[in-house]
Amino acid sequence: MVCKQWNLKLPKIPNGNKVPWLLLPIGGGGGAAKESFEEFHSREEEDIYHIMQLPTIDEQIPNTGGLEEEGIYHLILPELQDNNICGSCHGWLIIVMVYEGTIRMLNPFTKVQFELPPISSLPNVIDINGDECTIYFGGQIITRNTILMHKTQIWKAVINSTPTNDNNNDFIAVVIYGGLCSLAFYKPNDKRWHRFSTRYTDICDVMFFQEKIYAVDYEGQLYEFDTKNKSGPVGRIYEATPPPSDIVFGSFKCYYLIGCDNGSLLMLIRHIRHRYLGNKKYFVETVKFCVYESKKNEKAWSRIYDLGNYILVIGLNSSVQMFSSNFLNCKGNQIYFTDNMRLVHSSYFASHHDVGIFNLEDGTFKRLLTDVSYPKTVSWMPSIDCCSWDGIECHGVTGHVIGINLSSSQLYGSIDANSSLFSLVHLQSLDLSDNNFNHSQLPTKIGNLTSLNWLTIAQCNFQGSIPSSFGNLNQLVHLNLKSSGLTIGTFPLFFMNLTRLSFLSLEGCNLIGEIPSWIMNLTSLDYLNLKSNTFYGEFPHSLFRMDNLTSLFLRFNSLQGKLELGLFLKMRRLSFLDLGYNKLSLLNEKGSFNATLPPLEVLGLEQCNLTGGIPTWIMNLTGLQRLGLQENHLQGEIPHSLFSLENLHTLSLSSNSLEGEIDNDMLLKLKMLSYLSLSDNKLSLLPGKGSSNGTLPPLEVVELDSCNLVEFPSFLQDLDQLAFLGLSNNDFKTVVPNWIWEKKSLQSLSISGSSLTGEISPLICNLKSLVLLDLAYNNLNGTIPSCLGSSSQSLQIMMLQGNKLFGHLPQTYVMGSALKMIDVTDNNLQGQLPRELVNCRMLEFLDVSYNAINDSFPYWLGSLPELKVIGLRFNEFHGIINCPNICTFPKLHILDLSHNKFSGNLTPEMIMNLKSMTTSNISQLQYEDSIVFFGGKNWFTHVSYSFTMSNKGVVTDYEQIQKTFYCMVAIDISSNRISGEIPSVLGDLKSLVLLNMSNNLFIGDIPSSFGKLSNLEALDLSLNGLSGKIPQKLAQLTFLEFFNVSFNKLSGPIPENKQFSTFEGNSFVGNQGLCGIQLKKKCGDSSWSPPTVFDNDHDSGSITEFDWKIILIGYGGGVVTGLALGNAFGLDILAWLKNKKLLCFSYPF
């Protein structure tokens, strides 16, 4: 379908007006392969939306005869079936015929076709032999499936004119091709594509303009080529420095080129961000455009913010400039954009369309086709030819169904074992990824599809084991079961039959056991991903004999044993090696490695027990882009030659014992470096002699935590693109320099535990993009700048605990606030909690403990849908704990109201509001990871929630409650003045792990309903006025580890069975009527009685003073209760304080 409406109402197209058309695919078109960016060379064409440029001024648009509604034309283009569009110029579509390997130019109106040289003639193609081909990739010769190679070779194609007999000698076609995004050209009478005289790679866009070729790479560098040379285009670097770009949190960047009528060049920078959908899924959307202009005869870029009456239309295959006044209802200064999925083919990303209109004046978007998934099977009507159904691909000649792409189709339920799907014997490609099959089994009849060469079942929520019938699929070339839900167990033997596999991803498939040695028989494998499983045992040496491997990912397993690191260097084609976070001990060979090194681009050896110095052979990996050596035991100095690896983008050496000096001059050599982590070493940073004249690398992430710094590194001041800065656990003993507050690109700033002084400067309000702020545990004073609530919509994490801040919390919070965590514990804050916190709909964690906040119970927080933790301990909160209005606290896990002045009764209605605590389903109790994304390179950081509360009689710091205490559910209302009986409905809070009601004025019985608290581990009811017996049902609490009812008025026997036999007498002291073996008092024995009230003996004062300190330290609040309650418990407590030994050595504080 061809749509010229595109959300506009355009007039009839006059002759010669080159209005762009938007091509909307109706039928399915090929299975989308959604792998990681590292797998970009294996991607398959998406069903993206293309722009088609109409014929030139002297060509007429024919009557399509298919106009169904204004602005929408239906064209039957069978030539596009099974094939990929890679360009549109001068009214021609440029198409790759994926089964034939030919490249054709097609006029969609006249159906005239023009042949370009085939894919087999591209410079990187060595040989094609039936189903297999041999190509150059990354300096190596590799073997690929032919059809797959056809689909993935051409990124974009452009032509300079319509080919005719008159211009035959001037016609040129140019393509971006191959995994390295290189350039090749074709001229008439040639039989093949030719590489440009100078090799250019990483090209993002290319175009013809004013008899020249212009190309831009992924760093924004522009190249200019003269087309008049008879032997082919001659290029040079465009003299202008690449334009800077705004730092946009969590975004990728794509570059587009457009030639203007006035001779100027435009470069558009498109920021594309991924967003979280839940269930570990993301989708991408364009979030910003920046436009730069290089005027005719000027070699400089200038930012432009106003296009005047012009609009720009951009897409993956074509981009144009148009005059808006030529069209009705079309406003100038806007950018119309379509899909560009070139950078984000990942199984973490949901299939969708990114189409819309961007207003350059105010930065707003109008989104079109915003659904990230849609039910493709809605179009499956029996009355319609199945080859036109959405997601279905048929063979162009036989009509057989050869491809089914139902990824992100909102499928739910199970697959019928008798489905006609399993009778499609000609099916070659099947993609069921990103659906919800509701923990159902994958039918064994999947093994009937013996013609399959491409199978993707990633993130499908299946359950059960993988069918053994998979062994019948011996034609498979590509198999992706990543996080499918299938519990595979040990590595299945039937995988031995899949000898044609070149791509295998079993990431997150619950694999256990050893990696089998027979895996070496899969000789065609070039990509193997076994990340995030539970493999153990020694590393299989058979992997070293897999000569075709280019990518090996084994991160996050439990592989162990000693292993010579040099063995990997014998894998001649290896480009990606990731062994991080296993239990390996990699042996670091001394001396140099003389053999030819593999073309490694990514080397991840994190937490691999490496010792000694940094391996010297790493310095010879000239193509290395990412190096991860953190969390090892490396010692010595960082070799200066490491800073000669000019292609390094990421360098992480944190958490080692490296020492020595590093100066700015070393960093100047790493021209491409964007990520630098040197934290937790023994390094000294020096300014360097040439730093003032040199150009620093484009660093966006700098981590220098625990680097023994005493002053802020000066080179940071000159980093214009800095987005993430970590300087925690140093010893600055000074104020934060103003230049940090002026870095508007900052998205994450962490300087905790670094002896900072002074105030938080109001200049922090300049940091409009700030997402994470951590200034905890310093000596900061003054007030918290109000802009952190009132003007920041990006801030998610605010950690200011452990300082000397005073005044009020920021009182104003904008609607749409992104705040997820506020931690201001242990300061001197006063006043009330700001009511506008209700605008923080994403808030998960709020802790204001250890301050002087004076307020009533903040029931209004109950409307926050994501709030999980509320900490109010040690403040001046007062009044009744209740909700005058409806408050549901839908996700609350932890409520700590201890050590305040709450009073009155605890009502059943209040307890019934805590519905999130009534479930006993562990999966509903788990904390979600707080992941904060930042930078432009898919970097992120995990934020761990830490919390302090009383548990089992001890004030305990809970670190990383999302992981270590993943289902912690707790209520602590201890050390208040709450009175009345304990509501029996507390027994309905089945998910409670900790319940502390000690040090209050509760009376009456202990509710027998507490016996329903099956997850309870700690129950503290001490220091109250409870009476009656201890309910026998409490003995059913098999997880109960701590129980304290001391200093009440309980009577009767202590339950003797199960858990109660493990509790000592200290849990029951101070109850005159209790009896049992824990108190060494037989029930019915009246001869034993507790100590009497203090006599006026000579040492009573010292005993009281000494032992009250013990209660204060061990119990937290006993002294306050003793003074406040007077005679309510004073006599009993003082009587027991007579026995020093009991308190000092036996009482379980």
The position carrying tokens 């990114």 is: 354
* pLDDT number for residue 175: 93
Higher-confidence residue of 552 and 80: namely 552
- 504 has a pLDDT exceeding 90: yes
Position 895, amino acid: L
* pLDDT number for residue 1138: 31
Return d(Cα 225, Cα 100) in angstroms, integer.
31
Say if residues 205 and 216 touch (Cβ distance below 8 Å).
yes
Q: What angle do CA 1121, 994, 1021 make, to 5 degrees?
A: 35
pLDDT band at 667 (very low <50, low <70, confident <90, very high): confident
Over residues 346-380, the pLDDT tens digits come to: 434 444 677 888 888 667 777 776 555 667 787 78
Over residues 921-931, the pLDDT tens digits come to: 554 555 455 56
Q: 3-state SS of 486-498?
A: CCCECCCHHHHHC
- 1098 has a pLDDT exceeding 90: no
Average pLDDT score over residue span 37-42 = 30
Say if residues 792 and 822 touch (Cβ distance below 8 Å).
no
Over residues 1108-1118, the pLDDT tens digits come to: 222 222 222 22
Position 1054, amino acid: I
Higher-confidence residue of 533 and 966: namely 533
* pLDDT number for residue 1130: 31
- 145 has a pLDDT exceeding 80: yes
- 1022 has a pLDDT exceeding 80: yes
Parallel, antiparallel or unpaired: strands 234-237 and 319-323:
unpaired
Average pLDDT score over residue span 821-837 = 95
Query: What residues have CB less than 8 Å from 708, skipping those under 6 apart?
Result: 682, 683, 684, 730, 731
Q: Which residue ranges form the domains of the chain, and what is each CATH number? A: 511-609 (3.80.10.10), 1095-1149 (no CATH)
- 404 has a pLDDT exceeding 70: yes
Q: In the structure encoding, which two tokens stand for residue 345, read together? A: 């083919």
Average pLDDT, the chain: 79
Return d(Cα 831, Cα 852) in angstroms, integer.
8
Residues of 586-599 as b/e, b for ≥16 C-beta within 10 angstroms? bbbbeeebeeebbb
Over residues 289-342, the pLDDT tens digits come to: 889 988 887 888 888 877 876 788 888 778 888 876 555 456 778 898 887 655
Average pLDDT score over residue span 1122-1135 = 29
Q: How many CB atoms lie within 10 A of CB 1098?
A: 7
- 798 has a pLDDT exceeding 80: yes
From the list 519, 528, 514, the residue with the least C-alpha distance to 499 is 519
* pLDDT number for residue 791: 67
Bridge partners of residue 772, in order along the sequence: 748, 797
Over residues 676-714, the pLDDT tens digits come to: 999 999 888 877 665 445 677 888 889 999 988 898 988
Q: In the structure encoding, which two tokens stand for residue 321, read together? A: 């400039």
- 794 has a pLDDT exceeding 90: no
Reduce the DSSP state of residue 147 to 3 states and report it.
Answer: helix
Q: For residue 356, which phi and psi values (nearest 5 degrees)?
A: 180, -165
Query: What residues have CB less than 8 Å from 298, skipping those under 6 apart?
Result: none
pLDDT band at 553 (very low <50, low <70, confident <90, very high): very high
Residues of 360-389 as b/e, b for ≥16 C-beta within 10 angstroms? beeeebeebeeebbbebeebeeeeeeebeb
pLDDT band at 1103 (very low <50, low <70, confident <90, very high): very low
From the list 481, 475, 478, 485, the residue with the least C-alpha distance to 502 is 478
Query: What residues have CB less than 8 Å from 423, skipping those under 6 apart?
Result: 448
How would DSSP label each residue in 77-101? Answer: -GGGTT-EEEEEETTEEEEEETTTT
The position carrying tokens 């090996």 is: 552
Of the candidate ranges 332-336, 728-732, 779-783, the one whose mean pLDDT is the lowest: 332-336
Surface-to-core class of residue 782, CB atoms within 10 Å of its CB (0-12 exposed, 13-18 middle, 19+ buried): middle
* pLDDT number for residue 4: 38
Return d(Cα 428, Cα 478) in angstroms, integer.
11
* pLDDT number for residue 297: 79
pLDDT band at 937 (very low <50, low <70, confident <90, very high): very low
Return d(Cα 971, Cα 992) in angstroms, integer.
8
Average pLDDT score over residue span 463-475 = 91
